[in-house]
Structure 1
C-alpha cells in the first residue's frame, strides 16, 4: 500500500441547492433572470464534511445534513497536507474569522468558507459561478426566505470543540424521543438498583453465614462434650448402643428435607446460589481480554495517612465519620456497606472546596483509584448516580492540575477490573453538566482522549489503558456510535509519536477492535488520516498480528 503522504487526500466540493429546484422554476418570474439554484457548499476531506453556518464551523458525515445528498459533487483536487495540520488550521478558523456568531448571509457565508478552505488545501478556490451569485439576488424575498433553512442546517450538526490545541470532531446529534430517554433511564436505574441490592445481599448473607458457622461449631462442641461425658455408659452397654449413638449423630448432621430447607434459608441456599453466580462471573472474567489496570503504583496506607494529616482540623463531626468509613473500606477491607448514605457529600466537599490545598484532592483520588479495584465499588458508584459528583469532576479533567489528572485517569482505568463497574462506565443515559448533555460513556471517552493526547507520558499510559479497556469490552455497538470516531482519531494522533512496544500493542489492538465495530467509518479514517499501520511492522510479532487485523478492514 502506498504511503499516505505520497498518495494524498481527495478534496471535494459538495454543492446543494437550498431551494430544492424552486429557483430554476421560479427565478425568472421572481427576479427577472434565470438561476439554476441558490448554492450552499461544503468541503469534504479526510472523510468528513465541513461547512460554515451561524453556529460556526460544522463537521458531519458526508451527505448527512438536513439537505440530504448534494446536487452534485465536484473534485477540487488532492491535498498532501497531514491531517494534524488541517486540524490546527480549522481550529484557528473556528476561533477567529469563522467563529460562532460571525456568519453573515451576504458577506461571510458557507461559500466564503468553502473558498478559503479550498485555497488552503489545494491552492485554488471554488467555482466562480457559486461565488459570483449577485448580492442583490440574496436581498430579494426568495433570498431572505432561505435564512430559516440555513439556520436549520446549522443546527443539524454540533460545532467542533477544542481540547488543548486540537480540533476534535464532535459526535453526531441524534434526535431521541423523550419516551426512549425515560425508558433508558428507568432500565439503567433498575440495573443499578439490582446491582446495589445484590451487593448488599451478599454482605448480609456473608454475615449470616458466619453466624451459621459459629452456631454449628458450638453445636458440634456441645455434641462432642456430651459424647465424652457419656463415654463410660456407652462402653458398658456394648456395640449396639454405640451404633445407636453414631446413627443419632449422623441423623443430627444430616437433617430431614424439611429441616434442611428451614436450615438453608435464608443463608445456605442463597449462598449456594450466589456462589454459583460468582463462579459464572469469574469464568466470564477469565475468558475476557484482561484489562490494563494499575494495582501496585502506590501504598494506600501511606496515601490515607497523608490524606488525614492534610484534613486535620478541617472536618466537621459528620465528615470525620465519613473519613473513618473510608478507612474501614480501603484499609480494613470492610465491604462498601461501611460507606454511609452521605459519603458522596464528603467526597464532593474534598473535590470542590477550593479552600483546601490541592494536594488533598490528589490524595483522595489516589485512594479512590485503589478502591476502584474492589469488586463492590459499584455501590459507591450507585450513590454517585444521584448527583454525579465523581463523574462531573472527571468530565472536567482538562480544568484540573496535572497532579489531579493522573490519579483521576488511573481511577477510570482501574474501574475496568470488575465487570459491574466497567459496564457502569459505558452507560449512555445522559444528564446536564455546565449546559451540556453528558453521560458515563462521554465522560469515560473524554478522560481517555485527554489523557492519551497529553504531553505527560504517565498520563498517556493511562489513556492507552482506558481506550484499550473500552475496546475490549463486549457491549452492543450502539454504545460506540457516538464515540468511536473520537477514540480512533485520538489513537491515530498518538501513533504520530513514538510509543513503546507495550503501549503500541495495546493501542493497535484497540484500533483493530474499533475497525471491527464501526464497519466503514474507522477504516476510512485510518486511510484518510494515517499514519499507515504498516509503519510499525516489525516492532514485535504481536504488534504485527494486530496490524494484520487492521489491514483486513482496509482492503
Structure 2
C-alpha cells in the first residue's frame, strides 16, 4: 500500500510579537499565537472562519511556517481522505462553527492528525486557548488575534479552494478542482493495485510451471501458451516492465514493513484458530435466501477477499453496510454474528485490512458492536476478542484501534481506544479461559504498541487495575507473562499513577517470583519503578 508523509505546519500569527509583549499583558511569556495546518498529498489543509480550506504548501499570506513537524505516514487513500474531509466541512468544521478560543484551526489539525496517523498535535499548541486566550485579555487583543487568523488565507485562491457551504455551482467547481488536482494520486494507486494483482498471478503461474518441470512433468497447453506470451511481451517491452515495477515496489514495501515489525515487540495473535473457508461456507448457508441483490454481491466480494485471497479492492464502498446488517438484524440467528466476526478476525491478519476499516469512519459499525461486548453471548464475546487481538498483526490496523476521536453511541461518548480498552478489560476479567487468553493478548499488544504517550494517559490506570485484579486468579505462565509485560510497560508510561496503584492495591509482583526466568526479569523492571 502507498504511504504518504503527514506534516504539521506551525505558524506564529503574531510573527514574534507575542514573545515580546506577553510578559507585560499576561504576566508570563508565551512564544507565539499558534496557527496550524496539515500538509498531506502535497497539499496544505486548514480551518478558519471560512471553513475548511486548502492551498499549495506554504502559500498563505502568513508566509513560511515557523516550524514543520513530521507526524508520521498514512496509508489512507486520497479518495477516503477527501470523503472524510468533506464530511467534516459540512458538519463539525463548517465555517459557522469556527470559534477563536474553543473550535479553531488547531482543533481541526488535531482531528485530522488522529484520523491519518493516530497521533495528536503537540500539547502546548492545544493548551494555548486555556492558558492564554481565556485569561484576562482585553477584547481588543482578542480582536487583533482574530484579524491575524484571517491572514491565514491562500494567496490568489480565495474561492477555488474553500471546502465549505457554497452555492451548488461553487461546490461543483470546488469538487472538480480537487478531483483534478489529486487525479494523479488516484491513478497511481489504481496502477499499483493492478500491477500487484498482475505480479501475484504471474508468480502463481511461474511457481506452478516450476513445480511441474522439477517433477519431470509436461507443461499443459495453457501454461505453455502463457510462458510463450510472457516471453513475447518481454521482448516487445509491454507487460514485462509493469510487472517488474510491481515486484520491485512490493519488495521495497515488504522490507519496510519487516523493518518496522522488527523494531517492535511482536504482538500475540491467533492465526490458526479459525478455518476461514469452513466458517465462510457456514455463514453463507445461514444467510442464503435472505439477502438483497446488493448484499449477495457483497457476499461474493467477501469470498474473493477471504477465500480467493484478493486484495481489499475486491470490496465495494458499501461492504460494511452489509456487515452491519449481519450484525444487527435480529432475523438472523446468533451464529451469523459469530461467524461474521470470526471471518473478520481472519481478515484482521491481512495487511490491507486498514482500507476496509476506514469505510467504518462514519457509522462505526464494528466498534459499536464491540462496545456491547458485556451484553452479548459468550460466543460473540470470544469472536470480538479474537478480532481485536488479531488487529495488532499490522501497524496500521493497530493504530486504528487506538484512535481517540470520539462519537456518541447510546448517549455515551466513546472512541476506538475506549472500545478497545473495554473489550480488553472485560475479556481479561471474565470467567471464560478462552476470553482470558485473548484478553491477556489484547492488553499485551496494547502495552507493546509504540504510540504517543498521550494515547495511554487516559487508559493506563484502568488497564493496570484490571491486571492487578487478574493476578489474584493465579494465571498460567503464558498469560502471566503477557500481563506482567504489559504492567512493566504501563509503569514506564504512567510513572506515578501505575506504581502507586501497584503498591496500594497489590498483589506485589514479587509474589510471582520463581514462576519463570522471563517473568522474573519483568518483575525486576517493575520493582525499579516502585522504589
TM-score (norm 1): 0.58
SS in 2 for 1:547: helix
- Alpha carbons 1:199, 1:376 under 8 Å: kept: no
- Alpha carbons 1:464, 1:503 under 8 Å: kept: yes
The CA deviation at 1:459 is 0.6
Aligned counterpart, 1:353 = 329
CA distance in 2 between partners of 1:275 and 1:263 (Å): 19
Aligned counterpart, 2:304 = 328
Aligned counterpart, 1:374 = 350
Aligned counterpart, 1:203 = 193
CA distance in 2 between partners of 1:184 and 1:320 (Å): 39
Aligned counterpart, 2:34 = none
How far does the alpha carbon of each residue in 1:56-104 deviate from its partner, in whole angstroms, 9 at most, with x for none? xxxxxxxxxxxxxxxxxxxxxxxxxxxxxxxxxxxxxxxxxxxxxxxxx
- Alpha carbons 1:196, 1:379 under 8 Å: kept: no
1:408 pairs with one of 384, 392, 395: 384
- Alpha carbons 1:330, 1:371 under 8 Å: kept: yes
CA distance in 1 between partners of 2:446 and 2:396 (Å): 14
CA distance in 1 between partners of 2:106 and 2:466 (Å): 31
Aligned counterpart, 2:59 = none
Matches within 5 A, 1:23-102: none
- Alpha carbons 2:402, 2:417 under 8 Å: kept: yes
1:319 pairs with one of 285, 291, 295: 295
The CA deviation at 1:535 is 0.9
CA distance in 1 between partners of 2:249 and 2:285 (Å): 44
The CA deviation at 1:199 is 7.4
SS in 2 for 1:432: strand
CA distance in 2 between partners of 1:288 and 1:195 (Å): 30
Aligned counterpart, 1:187 = 113
The CA deviation at 1:530 is 0.4
The CA deviation at 1:276 is 1.7
How far does the alpha carbon of each residue in 1:497-528 deviate from its partner, in whole angstroms, 9 at most, with x for none? 11000110110000001001111111011001
How far does the alpha carbon of each residue in 1:363-414 deviate from its partner, in whole angstroms, 9 at most, with x for none? 1111111111111111110111121110111112112111100010110000
Matches within 5 A, 1:147-166: none
Matches within 5 A, 1:56-455: 179-191=105-117, 202-207=192-197, 209=199, 218=228, 221-222=231-232, 268-269=244-245, 272-455=248-431
Aligned counterpart, 2:161 = none
CA distance in 1 between partners of 2:288 and 2:333 (Å): 12
The CA deviation at 1:332 is 1.3
How far does the alpha carbon of each residue in 1:255-304 deviate from its partner, in whole angstroms, 9 at most, with x for none? 9xxx9xx9998664465345323202112213321111111112111111
CA distance in 2 between partners of 1:218 and 1:530 (Å): 71
1:472 pairs with one of 448, 458, 464: 448
- Alpha carbons 2:509, 2:523 under 8 Å: kept: yes
The count of aligned residue pairs is 347
Q: 1:198 to 1:190 in 2, by over 3 A?
A: farther
The CA deviation at 1:356 is 1.3
Aligned counterpart, 1:517 = 493
- Alpha carbons 2:115, 2:403 under 8 Å: kept: no
Aligned counterpart, 1:497 = 473
CA distance in 1 between partners of 2:337 and 2:286 (Å): 10
Q: 1:516 to 1:220 in 2, by over 3 A?
A: closer
Q: Which moved more, 1:311-320 or 1:543-552?
A: 311-320
Q: Which has more radius of gyration?
A: 1
Q: 1:334 to 1:195 in 2, by over 3 A?
A: farther
The root-mean-square deviation of aligned C-alpha atoms, in Å, is 3.1
CA distance in 1 between partners of 2:372 and 2:320 (Å): 18
CA distance in 1 between partners of 2:285 and 2:529 (Å): 55
CA distance in 1 between partners of 2:391 and 2:504 (Å): 34
CA distance in 2 between partners of 1:441 and 1:197 (Å): 34
Q: 1:549 to 1:270 in 2, by over 3 A?
A: same
The CA deviation at 1:324 is 1.1
The CA deviation at 1:209 is 4.4
CA distance in 1 between partners of 2:416 and 2:187 (Å): 21
CA distance in 2 between partners of 1:542 and 1:364 (Å): 37
CA distance in 2 between partners of 1:544 and 1:366 (Å): 36
How far does the alpha carbon of each residue in 1:411-460 deviate from its partner, in whole angstroms, 9 at most, with x for none? 00001011111111111122221222211111111110111111111111
Aligned counterpart, 2:461 = 485
The CA deviation at 1:218 is 4.7
CA distance in 1 between partners of 2:326 and 2:258 (Å): 35
TM-score (norm 2): 0.60
Task: List runs of 5+ in structure 1 lacking aligned partners.
Answer: 1-174, 224-251
